[in-house]
């Protein structure tokens, strides 16, 4: 069948759909969601023989007339010989072979490395449709992946994009997430780098949380770099704190995440490869993994976290990464600040003056940094945290952070009080005395996001009293910051309707 190109003023990222008129779809014998092979009739190029697209059907004659095929801007960017009016030859096509491997996983069979490679290649090329990938993700969530499969998936995802090289002994830290205010990377990276280890820390922006490491660091310095500039930064400072999204690493992982996210799925069979793939792409050899355990995290109990840790270490070893895992407490925020600017300010304050704390941030950061120092031979076994605390207390970590900020193009002289927050604020005070039995992370996140996090860097919350604290009537316990009055009101509303995140002896502490 021959159809004439009609250019569609439409582009949405991953979509490789084309659209034909309902009458032509009958003649073609393919239904919506099925595949067609497309070839430019006049194309002379041998490599560019044909390409496969997913069919959409216009039932209304309002987009494409019989004889036309709607081609989106996504496709036009890739196919230089396609333009308005070009004649294409269209034939029905079968799903790619990799679709059979997805069906194999649906039937709970183990996939070979070669089969996993083909799924990943077809996910990246667009040969597999979004609903086929949704079926794959669901099948993995239900039927799981064993260690061989996870190993193969990690390698396949890493190979789907660029793999960088920052030397032979590259260190890194990662967290499985779920605890608010977890700005520990801003402390760990300068400690580890000050000790002389190489740690090119790439991190994500917030996905479901009020702030990711990249969001907080961006308050202090730019975080989006291409490889050449990054290499310069790391060769100078043996460290960086950047946003991984600016590098073309592991596109396969991003494609899977784009479907996992709206499905609210993050099965271990995909989570472990996703973490390790990003590490492989940056040439990481030694990794400490922070596994927060508790309600609201991926691991409700420490036992869940432990089980995960053993599998993780095994897969990491299989792909050439030495990993140590730390199960950490996640019952309340780390430190007091939640939100990009507030977290950057809290981290910078601690780097400049050890004595101001907060203690939970010191302990967790030096615990994790200590493990890396031991793995790197900078401290004896069991002495890593002591060394980490020394480096932090001595100001060497701060000096390193200043240099990293400078290398990334930030203001090396920035002072905590110069970091902009708010300007709209609302304080909450205790209406009676008592003892805090619980801090609710979920409510903190809701309030911080309502206030504008993570998009508005200046928004966030501060929690002044935490679990176990005794409070007096009138004590300042909580504060919301926002860049807009409307958002502040919305955040206040959540505080009031939930009773706030701070639970006193099992009862609400304040109600307005």
Which residues are designated catalytic?
A: 266
CA distance 120 to 252: 6
CA dihedral 89, 95, 96, 101 (to 10 degrees): 180
Q: Tell me if 137 contacts a copy of itself by CB under 8 A.
A: yes
Q: By CB neighbour count within 10 A (0-12 exposed, 13-18 middle, 19+ buried), where does 313 fall?
A: middle
* Residue 21 phi, psi (nearest 5): -70, 145
Choose the stretch contacting a copy of itself; rule: CB under 8 A; options: 125-133, 160-168, 294-302, 338-346.
125-133
Sole window of 53-61, 156-164, 273-281, 378-386 interacting with a copy of itself (rule: CB under 8 A)? 53-61
Which of 21, 98, 117, 129 contacts a copy of itself by CB under 8 A?
129
Classify the phi-psi angles of 307: left when phi > 0, otherwise alpha if psi is within -120 to 50, otherwise beta.
alpha
Q: What is the number of alpha carbons within 13 Å of residue 324 lying toward its C-beta?
A: 15
Q: What count of residues does the chain have? A: 512
Residue (386 or 498) nearer to a copy of itself, CB: 498
Map residues 379-418 to x or -, x wherever contact with a copy of itself holds by CB under 8 A: ----------------------------------------
- The nearer residue to a copy of itself, 309 or 453, going by C-beta atoms, is 453
Residue 32 contacts a copy of itself per CB under 8 A: yes
- 271, HSE (Cβ side, Cα atoms, 13 Å): 20
> 442 vs 99, 199, 301, 422, CA distance in Å?
39, 31, 17, 22
Q: Which of 379, 355, 356 is nearest to 367 (CA)?
A: 379
Size of the site for a copy of itself (CB under 8 A): 50
With H, G, I as helix, E, B as strand and everything else as coil, classify residue 395.
coil
Q: Is residue 58 a contact residue for a copy of itself (CB under 8 A)? A: yes
SS3 211: coil
**Shortest distance in whole angstroms from residue 347 CB to a copy of itself:** 23
Q: Of the candidates 415, 501, 492, 421, which has an alpha carbon nearest to the alpha carbon of residue 460?
A: 421
- Contact between 139 and a copy of itself (CB under 8 A)? yes
Between CA 314 and CA 326 the distance in angstroms is 15
Residue 112 near a copy of itself by CB under 8 A: no
- Closest distance to a copy of itself from the beta carbon of 304 (Å): 15
**142 lines the binding site for a copy of itself (CB under 8 A):** yes
Angle in degrees, CA 331, 333, 339, rounded to 5: 150
Regarding 308 and contact with a copy of itself (CB under 8 A), the answer is no
Note whether 10 binds a copy of itself by CB under 8 A: yes
**Contact between 8 and a copy of itself (CB under 8 A)?**
yes
Q: Does 85 bind a copy of itself (CB under 8 A)?
A: no
Applying the rule CB under 8 A, the residues between 230 and 269 that interact with a copy of itself are: 258-259, 261-265
Among 45, 60, 168, 355, binds a copy of itself (CB under 8 A): 60
- Peptide bond connecting 454 to the previous residue in cis, omega within 30 degrees of 0: yes
Among 52, 106, 311, 414, indicate the residue that binds a copy of itself (CB under 8 A).
106
Q: Chain centroid to CA 113: how far? A: 25
**For residues 389 and 449, which CB has a smaller minimum distance to a copy of itself in the complex?**
449
- Candidates 38, 86, 99, 373; binder of a copy of itself (CB under 8 A) is 99
Q: Is 146 in the site for a copy of itself (CB under 8 A)?
A: no
Q: Bridge partners of 424?
A: 482
Residues that bind a copy of itself (CB under 8 A): 8-13, 19, 26-27, 29, 31-34, 56-60, 62-63, 73, 95, 99, 103, 106, 108, 129-132, 134-135, 137-139, 141-143, 207, 258-259, 261-265, 449, 454-455
């Amino acid at each position: 069948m021959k159809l004439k190109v009609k250019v569609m003023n439409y582009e949405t990222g991953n979509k490789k759909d084309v659209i034909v008129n309902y009458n032509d779809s009958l003649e073609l014998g393919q239904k919506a969601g099925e595949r067609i092979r497309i070839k430019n009739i006049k194309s002379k190029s041998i490599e560019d023989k044909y390409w496969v697209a997913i069919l959409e059907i216009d039932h209304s004659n309002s987009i494409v007339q019989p004889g036309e095929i709607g081609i989106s801007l996504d496709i036009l960017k890739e196919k230089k010989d396609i333009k308005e009016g070009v004649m294409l030859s269209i034939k029905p096509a079968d799903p790619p072979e990799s679709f059979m491997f997805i069906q194999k996983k649906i039937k709970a069979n183990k996939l070979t490395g070669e089969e996993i490679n083909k799924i990943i290649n077809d996910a990246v090329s667009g040969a597999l449709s979004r609903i086929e990938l949704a079926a794959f993700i669901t099948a993995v969530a239900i039927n799981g992946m064993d260690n061989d499969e996870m190993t193969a998936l990690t390698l396949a995802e890493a190979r789907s994009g660029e793999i960088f090289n920052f030397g032979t002994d590259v260190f890194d830290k990662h967290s499985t997430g779920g605890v608010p205010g977890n700005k520990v990377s801003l402390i760990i990276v300068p400690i580890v780098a000050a000790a002389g280890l190489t740690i090119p820390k790439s991190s994500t922006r917030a996905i479901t949380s009020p702030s990711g490491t990249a969001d907080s660091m961006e308050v202090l310095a730019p975080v989006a770099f291409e490889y050449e500039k990054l290499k310069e930064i790391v060769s100078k400072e043996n460290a960086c704190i950047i946003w991984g999204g600016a590098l073309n690493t592991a596109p396969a992982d991003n494609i899977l995440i784009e479907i996992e996210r709206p499905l609210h799925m993050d099965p271990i069979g995909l989570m472990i490869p996703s973490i390790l793939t990003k590490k492989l792409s940056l040439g990481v050899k030694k990794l400490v993994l922070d596994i927060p355990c508790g309600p609201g995290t991926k691991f409700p109990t420490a036992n869940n976290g432990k089980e995960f840790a053993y599998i993780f270490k095994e897969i990491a070893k299989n792909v050439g990464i030495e990993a140590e895992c730390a199960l950490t407490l996640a019952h309340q925020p780390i430190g007091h600040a939640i939100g990009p600017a507030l977290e950057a300010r809290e981290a910078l304050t601690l780097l400049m003056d050890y004595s101001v704390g907060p203690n939970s941030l010191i302990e967790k950061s030096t615990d994790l940094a200590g493990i890396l120092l031991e793995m790197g031979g900078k401290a004896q076994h069991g002495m890593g945290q002591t060394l980490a605390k020394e480096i932090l207390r001595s100001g060497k970590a701060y000096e390193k952070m200043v240099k990293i900020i400078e290398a990334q193009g930030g203001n090396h002289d920035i002072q905590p009080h110069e970091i902009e927050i708010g300007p709209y604020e609302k304080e909450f005070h205790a209406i009676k005395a008592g003892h805090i039995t619980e801090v609710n992370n979920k409510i903190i996140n809701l309030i911080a996001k309502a206030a504008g996090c993570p998009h508005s860097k200046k928004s966030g919350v501060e929690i002044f009293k935490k679990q176990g604290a005794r409070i007096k009537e009138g004590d300042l316990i909580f504060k919301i910051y926002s860049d807009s009055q409307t958002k502040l009101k919305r955040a206040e509303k959540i505080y009031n309707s939930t009773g706030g995140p701070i639970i006193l002896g099992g009862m609400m502490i304040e109600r307005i």
